[in-house]
Each structure stands twice: as C-alpha cells, then as structure tokens.
Structure 1
C-alpha cells in the first residue's frame, strides 16, 4: 500500500476519532437532556462516518473494491440517528423533562 493511501486512511481515522471524542465529551458535559442530544447525534455520527470512509479506502485499496457493507452502514447511520434523536426529544417534551434556562424553544413551563 502506498504512503499516501495510508496517510489518507490515518487522516480519516483521526478525524473520526476526534469527532467521536467530542460527541462523548458533549454527552457527559452538557447540562440538560435536550443539549445532550446533540453530542451523540451530530458529532458521533460524523465520527463513525469518518471511520467508515477510512474502512472503505482501506478495503478498496486492497483490491476488493468498494464494499456494499460500508455503504449500507453509512446509509443506516445517517437515517436512524436523526430520527431517534427526534423521537427522544418528543418523548422528553411529553414527559416535561427539566431543562436549563439557556435552552431555547420552551413549549411548556417548568
């Protein structure tokens, strides 16, 4: 494998890992439920996407060609993450989960 392909794979792995780390830190550090939804749905989705792109480049350079598995994982991830976050937010609104004052879009009184 050439140096440039390895460098590109390393770049996507590092970027994906950094996005996943930022998502995990956001999930831990953000103050209320509604702001915590952004960590796993946005940053972690990009993190897994970067790792899947690195996997596609690696296995594509091995002579096997592009795998349908990586494309299906990417499609499944980008469809299910926003839908699950929306369902969690709607359920939290229904249960009137407490939020901090900085959270915008208050549909109910605490």
Structure 2
C-alpha cells in the first residue's frame, strides 16, 4: 500500500510549519521572559520540539539514508540540550545571577558551600 504523494507533501508541510512556529515561539520567549531560568526553559523545550518537527517533516521528503542521518541529529539534540541547560542554570545559580527570592523550591541551597566573609 503506497501513500499518495499529496498526503506526504501535506504532512511534511504541516510538520515543517509547526516546527518553525514552535521555534519562533521559543525565540520570542528568549526575548520576552524576565529571568534566566525561564529563558533557559524557552531555549530548550520549544527549540528542541521545533527542531524535531522540522527534522520529521524533512525526513518525509528525503531518501531513507538521509532520514537515518536526521534521526541521529534529533537524537543528539534530545540528549545534549537538557544537559547544556542544566549546566548553564547551575553556573548562573552559583555565580549569583539567579534571583533566589522568587523561587518556590530551591533544591541547591543545601548543597551550596557556606559563603565566607572576606
């Protein structure tokens, strides 16, 4: 059973446009959100989802060998984006650029070394 090329074209276009819109909303979040943790959220989740949708839409249009490469690109993005976000957030927390008074839960406070007076 073969799928009509029109169906593949429409599905690919929907995936590509949805992915582009998701990436655009993530970029707007980077500009509009007030603090670093919120910006990290906007930089990782919508951008990763948008890229995965774009890769899926592209995979429908390319030969199978190239689609396998796109799957690897998506896998590396899913693996590395949360790790990088975690490292940036922890670095910002340790350097004092994250406002702690606005946090509902602060799990790192107990793990931070006591500040010594200079």
Report the TM-score, using the length of structure 1 for normalisation.
Answer: 0.85
Match of 1:82 in 2: 82
Structure 2 gaps of 5+ residues are 110-118
Aligned equivalents of 1:100, 1:25: Cα separation in 2 = 24
Report the TM-score, using the length of structure 2 for normalisation.
Answer: 0.80
Across the two proteins, how many residue pairs are aligned to each other?
A: 104
| Bigger radius of gyration among the two | 2
Greater length-normalized contact order (CA 8 Å, ≥ 6 residues apart) = 1
Aligned equivalents of 1:44, 1:103: Cα separation in 2 = 24
Match of 2:51 in 1: 48
CA contact (8 A) 1:22 1:43 kept: yes
Structure 1 gaps of 5+ residues are none
